[in-house]
Structure 1
Amino acid sequence: MILAVWVPLLVPFLAAPAARRLADALPPRPAAWLLAAASTGLALCSAAALSLLTVAGALRLPYVAALGHLVTPFDAVPVAVARPAGCAAAALLALSGLALIRTARRQLGELRTARRRLAPSTGELAVVRDPGPYAYALPGRPGRIVVTTGMLRALEPAEREALFAHERAHLRGRHHLFLAAAELAAHLHPSLRSLRAPLAYALERWADEAAAGAVGDRRLAARAIGRAALAGRTAAHAPRPRAALAAVAGPVPRRVAALLDRRPSTAPLRSRGPGLIAAALLVCLCASAVSAAEAAADLHGGIETAQGEH
């Protein structure tokens, strides 16, 4: 166990850069799924490893050993390693849990506050009387597209439809859940924080492509996003919840350039580089999962031995 349990804690430092490189080579939708799945899987394996270290350290305490009905000392992990590693793992888990709870409460509070500001309506579109130009997709049941009168005045009718299609894509794709997964991963392992920005960009590009398809004009979608971003720069800070996505978020010039690129976003990958990176990332994920499972099996076996069942 003592060797296997460290693999899920170290692998993310190698897997996170590989995931970023691979996401850059993929179309937006699979890139978003890749980043969300990789960060969640690596984070869960890391949390499992910390939990196993915590249990191994706790079993060295007399009252915990008594609760576990251990008749002989638990020796699956040397005492010189079990106690300090267990204390450190328990502290990291506690700090991560508290930070995650605090972030979740803050974001849920922001979403509730944003919903209370809207007039009761059964429609998808919520127009707010505000000269400040901003718009965003507010998740919930039902999801709402929030747009101000200032933003409506800043765009032409066709551009408004492109903007609405962009925000509608966020709601239909449940993109806020992708961001929640990235936030969870970032709190569980420090190296996974670097995946939040690429994931947010992939989600915006996903919605950009959906908007371009909905209006049937990539240049129109690019113009709408660019004009909305320029209008938003002159406004005061928009009261947008952090869990809500907006068309003007992220590196807008890069997104506009991608929309104006006439090459299809779903073009097949011809280089061997992305394939090699994908293979390396898959190896990292499998190694992390297998090592966590092996460490759990070793811990279980050590407990059974200490209980005199073998």
Structure 2
Amino acid sequence: MNNIVWLPLLMPFLAAPAARRVAAALSPRLAVWLLTATAVGLAACSTAALALLVVPGASYLPVVAVLGDLVRPLTSGEPTVVIASATAAAGLLAWRAAALVTAVRRHRADLHRARSLAGGTDEELAILPDDHPDAYALPGRPGRIVVTTGMLRALDPAEREALFAHERAHLRGRHHHLLAAAELAALLHPALRALREPLGYALERTADEVAAAAVGDRRLAARAIGRAALAGKAASARGPRPRVALAATAGPVPRRVAALLGRGTDIAPAPVRVRRIVAAALLACVVVSGASALGAAQNLHSNIEIAQGESPHG
């Protein structure tokens, strides 16, 4: 096993700085897809790299050697180092797998609890009798817009429509799937946690733009988001909102409002050169990570043929 197997484990650390620039440099929709693809791609490659590190060490086990028809270990490296690396990689894989299972179970339990509180009807709008202002898009079949009576009292009718349009955009765009993918990717590699915040911001900005187009008034959309955020400042700590449920009051609301009003940097796209550099930096991390994992896999395959007493080109 050559040293390129380590590159997929290092690439997420290099991708994190570029990810922080993506949401501001690119359009919200493009930023969403680029960040999601980066998170999933880097998580998959780093997981594959760990699996590739396990195999050479496992080849020292008699049962593995018999099953693989191996006449020698898969590497000529120092056995102590190879076995130690394989043991550490296997431990990390088991730990991350357990974390994934726990996260999925918690996610499903949160959604089940939230949907139970929202009621069992198929109506799009679910009104909760709660004085604490809150509103969010609840994923499921069908997806629902959940709003408390406290939030309804805090907004006028036009602002409510803008708020509902925002949450409807999350549901129709299936943004919860993208956010969940980033959450799970972060469990596979800790450096990918840095992509969660810019992705969340890009998702909210995407829904902001859809809501503004739906009501035909950017100022109205900005006012609705701002007032909802002020009214629901203390609601998130008390409400039944699941972790992957997206809400108009999430993220840096002042920055989002400024973008809707044309006063922030987001409304004026970054120079084409800057956008290309930022996008290329993220894509390069994914490409290098994938190519390294593939190269390491090919190298492992050659080592297996050699260990079986065959010619690697035969």
Which runs of no fewer than 5 residues in structure 1 stay unpaired?
A: none
Give the corresponding residue for 1:308: 309
Q: In 1, distance between residues paired with 2:282 and 2:130?
A: 46
Helix, strand or coil at the partner of 2:251: coil
Give the AA of the match of 1:4.
I
Instruction: Write the letter of the residue equivalent to 2:202.
Output: A
Hey, what does 1:16 align to over in structure 2? Answer: 16
Distance 2:78 2:295 in 1: 17
CA shift at 1:130, angstroms? 1.6
Q: Quote how far apart the aligned CAs of 1:37 are.
A: 0.6
* Residue range with higher mean Cα deviation, 265-274 or 180-189: 265-274
Distance of 1:105 and 1:254 partners within structure 2 = 34
Partner of 1:63: 63
Match of 2:43 in 1: 43
Query: CA separation in 1, counterparts of 2:135 and 2:181?
Result: 23
Unaligned runs of 5+ in 2: none
Letter of the 2:150 counterpart:
G
Paired with 1:2 and 1:198, the residues of 2 have a C-alpha distance of: 34
Shift of residue 75 of structure 1?
2.1
Quick check: 1:29 aligned with 2:29? Answer: yes
Structure 1 pair 280–264 and aligned structure 2 pair: CA distance change class (3 A)? closer
Equivalences, count: 310
Q: Supply the distance in 2 between the matched residues of 1:161 and 1:214 (Cα, whole angstroms).
A: 9
Change (3 A) 1:84 1:138: same
Q: Taking structure 1 as the reference length, what is the TM-score of the superposition?
A: 0.95
- Corresponding position of 2:171: 171
- Kindly, what percent of the aligned residue pairs are identical? 64
Inter-partner Cα distance in structure 1 for 2:305 and 2:23: 44
> Is the contact made by 1:76 and 1:302 (CA closer than 8 Å) also made in structure 2?
no
Per-residue deviation, residues 200-219 of structure 1 (Å, max 9, x unmatched): 11111111111111001011
Q: What amino acid is aligned across from residue 97 of structure 1 in structure 2?
A: A
**Partner residue of 1:162?**
162
- Alpha-carbon contact 1:76-1:299 (below 8 Å) kept: no
AA aligned to 1:163 is: L
Counterpart position of 1:288: 289
Q: Which residue of 2 aligns with 1:72?
A: 72
Taking the aligned partners of 1:262 and 1:73, their CA distance within structure 2 comes to: 63
Superposed displacement of residue 255, structure 1: 1.1
TM-score (norm 2): 0.93
For residues 1-310 of structure 1, the aligned pairs below 5 Å read 1-75=1-75, 77-233=77-233, 235=235, 237-261=238-262, 269-310=270-311
Contact 1:76 1:298 in 2 (8 A): no
Alpha-carbon distance in structure 1 between the residues aligned to 2:44 and 2:300 = 18
Q: Which moved more, 1:259-268 or 1:57-66?
A: 259-268
> Could you tell me how far 1:109 is from its partner in structure 2?
0.2
Structure 1 residue identity aligned to 2:280: A
Note if contact 2:163-2:248 (Cα within 8 Å) is conserved in structure 1. yes
